């Protein structure tokens, strides 16, 4: 039931945001700029940055051009490189928080453990026994924060030092030692490139090789950074320019139409990269994938093929049988003695806001709602979970582009859902069951035809092998975020 106009009165809403990574900070900055007085950001870590705080491994770099990986309202003229290293990105978020005096809105080292809808508001509990209430709950937890530890026999028996890429220990010595790196997504590739010359020996374990997209990374000079400071149009030409966005659109076309000319062009580039840059025919075949390019998230690297051809570096394609005290034993015999074992094995990407226990209307739980797969209407709202909105939630676009831009478009959509709550026409808003069912039916059918569904394993796939992604064009997503179809929402 919608509240009739004559009974409506404006409300001062209380907001809680979960997570102080890129998306949670965006929500806080937007609320603050709109004049909202009552909001708190809960962050389980000791500072901001999310995945850029958690990940500190050698070689960490964003594969989106640095000037495109900023808030639209906060350009940064001081990036050191075209592709910014992780520590700089972390400092960028710290700087933005301090410039906007947002830090006093954040409760650090405070993990939210439960959220319960009492019929009017959300009631929250934290790990330390704290409590809070909110009219609106914003989940900005992202997906890259629950490390995935592989189920390898004997992993706990290794006598050397074991590191997950998202739990890097700077006290562990890697120089001059025997290193093993398990996993060859972007993280594994970056670590191998960074450590290939520092290690005495390095083994890169990879059951399924990756297609590598060559990129040109370069440092900005002092003069170029000064020019960026003096003229923001130079920054805008990179982050909003046709070169960047035409590339995004071409790549997006290839993803959703695997037989398109755009995909043929990607295939040509990555194949040429392999053929031209790996001299040894045997190694070249070891590094040749057996699936279409971009079926897994494309790995961007200017120098991976050069790194694995260095003396002392070996690519291992055999299956791991088990980890022993001295190293890694392979299924077909032989053992790789190691001093340090690096797990570049990614994250549990189906968790999102979980393990927080979310209980909505009529005792609905998020675990039950996501029993088959995590989903949300247009990646933002879930039936029976009133006034609960997600940024970069399940089925949002993912790929080789800026998730900051995705989150900004989502926030513009969410702000419109907040309007009936702010002006007193309603007390709750959530997606309708039939709207989500119709959306998911269309999405799943189309997702299966994208390159992500063309026959490889990747973290994009859900438990039933369905790509957990937005399967239409980037421009269609932008259009969908312009204005919600309010008929698709249960407004009470």
Run means of pLDDT, 10 residues per run, the chain, 492 residues: 49 96 98 96 97 96 95 98 97 98 98 97 97 98 89 96 96 97 96 98 96 96 98 95 90 94 96 98 97 94 98 97 98 96 92 94 96 96 98 90 95 98 97 98 97 92 93 95 98 98
CATH classification of the domain holding 141: 3.50.50.60
57-147-158 Cα angle (round to 5): 75
Are residues 31 and 133 located together in one domain of the fold? Answer: yes
C-alpha distances (whole Å) from 144 to each of 245, 347, 415 are 25, 6, 25
DSSP state of 370: T
Looking at the domain assignment, is residue 79 inside a domain?
A: no
The domain boundary residue, chosen from 346, 379, 412: 346
Question: What is the pTM assigned to this prediction?
Answer: 0.95
Q: Which of 346, 361, 377 is the last residue of a domain?
A: 346
Are 483 and 339 in a shared domain?
no
- The C-alpha torsion from 233 through 235 and 238 to 242, rounded to 10°, is -20
Residue 219 counted as domain residue: no
Strand-by-strand arrangement of the 131-134 sheet: 131-134, 122-126, 112-117, 357-359
Domain containing 166: what range?
A: 148-210+296-346
Using CA atoms, how far residue 343 sits from 242, 352, 369, 420, 460, in Å, is: 38, 21, 32, 47, 19
Same domain, 326 and 434: no
Same domain, 465 and 400: yes
Query: Does 316 fall in a domain?
Result: yes
Indicate the residue among 346, 365, 386 that finishes a domain: 346
- Mark whether 342 and 469 lie in a shared domain: no
**Domain annotation covers residue 21:** yes
Domain presence at residue 320:
yes
Other C-beta atoms lying within 10 Å of the C-beta of residue 98: 11
Q: 């003069």: which residue's tokens?
A: 223
Same domain, 329 and 437: no
Three-class secondary structure of residue 283 per DSSP = helix
User: For the chain, what is the domain count?
Assistant: 2
Residue 123 sits in the same domain as residue 153: no
Same domain for 190 and 156: yes
> Does residue 402 sit in the same domain as residue 486?
yes
CA-angle at 115, arms to 113 and 116, nearest 5°:
140
Domain assignment present for 220: no
Q: Would 86 be classed as within a structural domain?
A: no
What φ, ψ does residue 304 adopt, rounded to 5°?
-65, -45
For residue 67, the number of C-alpha atoms closer than 13 Å in the C-beta half-sphere is 25
**pLDDT at res. 1:** 34
* Domain shared by 416 and 464, yes or no: yes
> Going by DSSP bridges, is the β-strand pair 161-164/357-359 parallel, antiparallel, or unpaired?
unpaired
Which DSSP helix (H) or strand (E) runs through 358?
Answer: strand 357-359
Residue whose token pair is 């000791």: 46
Say if 256 falls within a structural domain: no
DSSP summary character for residue 472? S
Same domain, 201 and 125: no
- Are 475 and 336 in the same domain? no
């Amino acid at each position: 039931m919608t509240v009739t106009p004559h009974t409506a009165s404006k409300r001062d809403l209380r907001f809680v945001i979960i997570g102080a990574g890129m998306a949670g900070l965006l929500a806080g900055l937007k609320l603050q700029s709109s004049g909202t007085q009552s909001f708190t950001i809960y962050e389980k870590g000791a500072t901001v940055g999310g995945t850029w705080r958690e990940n500190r491994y050698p070689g960490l770099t964003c594969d989106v051009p640095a000037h495109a990986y900023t808030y639209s309202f906060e350009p940064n003229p001081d990036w050191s490189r075209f592709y910014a290293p992780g520590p700089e990105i972390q400092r960028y978020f710290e700087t933005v928080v301090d410039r906007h005096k947002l830090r006093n809105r954040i409760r650090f080292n405070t993990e939210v453990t439960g959220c319960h809808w009492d019929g009017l508001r959300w009631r929250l509990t934290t790990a330390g026994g704290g409590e809070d209430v909110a009219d609106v709950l914003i989940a900005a937890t992202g997906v890259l924060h629950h490390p995935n530890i592989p189920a390898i026999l004997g992993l706990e028996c290794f006598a050397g030092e074991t590191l997950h890429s998202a739990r890097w220990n700077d006290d562990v010595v890697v120089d001059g030692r025997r290193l093993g790196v398990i996993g060859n997504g972007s993280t594994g590739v970056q670590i191998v490139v960074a450590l290939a010359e520092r290690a005495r020996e390095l083994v890169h374990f990879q059951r399924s090789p990756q297609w590598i997209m060559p990129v040109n990374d370069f440092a900005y000079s002092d003069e170029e950074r000064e020019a960026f400071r003096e003229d923001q149009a130079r920054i805008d030409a990179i982050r909003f320019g046709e070169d960047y966005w035409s590339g995004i659109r071409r790549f997006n076309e290839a993803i959703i139409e695997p037989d398109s000319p755009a995909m043929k062009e990607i295939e040509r580039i990555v194949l040429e990269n392999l053929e031209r840059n790996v001299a040894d025919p045997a190694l070249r075949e070891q590094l040749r994938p057996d699936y279409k390019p971009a079926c897994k998230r494309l790995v961007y690297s200017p120098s991976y093929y050069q790194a694995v051809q260095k003396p002392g570096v070996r690519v291992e394609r055999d299956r791991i049988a088990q980890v022993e005290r001295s190293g890694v034993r392979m299924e077909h015999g032989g053992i790789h003695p190691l001093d340090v074992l690096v797990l570049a094995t990614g994250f549990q990407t189906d968790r999102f806001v979980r393990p927080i226990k979310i209980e909505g209307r009529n005792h609905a739980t998020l675990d039950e709602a996501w029993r088959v797969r995590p989903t949300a209407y247009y990646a933002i709202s879930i039936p029976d979970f009133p006034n609960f909105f997600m940024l970069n939630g399940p089925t949002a676009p993912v790929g080789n582009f800026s998730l900051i831009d995705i989150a900004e478009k989502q926030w513009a959509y969410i702000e419109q859902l907040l309007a009936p709550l702010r002006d007193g026409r309603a007390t709750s808003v959530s997606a309708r069951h039939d709207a989500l069912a119709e959306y998911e039916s269309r999405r799943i059918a189309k997702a299966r035809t994208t390159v992500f569904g063309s026959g490889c394993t990747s973290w994009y796939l859900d438990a039933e092998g369905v790509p957990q992604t937005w399967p239409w064009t980037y421009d269609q997503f932008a259009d969908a975020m312009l204005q919600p179809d309010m008929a698709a929402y249960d407004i009470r």
